[in-house]
Amino acid sequence: MGAGGPQESEEMILRSARCEIERVGILGLRVADVASGANSSISQIYRHFKNRDGLLARVLGDMYDEFTLDVVRNYLARLEGKNPLTVDAVVDAIPLQFGAGSMRSQELRLQVLAVSTTNEALRLRLERCTALLVAEWNAALDWIESRMAPGESLDRRVFLMVLALQNPYYRALLGEQGFTEDEYRDFLREKMRVTR
The CB-of-145 to its own copies minimum distance in angstroms stands at 18
The CB-of-61 to its own copies minimum distance in angstroms stands at 13
CA angle 108, 67, 74 (to 5 degrees): 145
**By CB under 8 A, residue 48 contacts its own copies:** no
**By CB under 8 A, residue 100 contacts its own copies:** no
Closest by CA position to 164, among listed 140, 194, 145, 182: 140
Closest by CA position to 90, among listed 193, 180, 195: 193
Residue 12 vs 108, nearer CB to its own copies: 108
**By CB under 8 A, residue 63 contacts its own copies:** no
Closest by CA position to 17, among listed 66, 52, 47: 52
Out of 85, 90, 115, 154, the only residue in the binding site for its own copies (CB under 8 A) is 115
Closest by CA position to 28, among listed 47, 62, 52, 45: 52
Considering only residues 141 to 170 of the shown chain, the ones binding its own copies according to CB under 8 A are 157, 160-162, 164-170
Task: Let me know: does 108 contact 66? Beta carbons within 8 Å.
Answer: no
The binding site for its own copies (CB under 8 A) comprises 25, 27-28, 107, 110-111, 113-115, 117-118, 126-127, 130-131, 134, 157, 160-162, 164-171, 173-175, 177, 179, 183-184, 187, 191
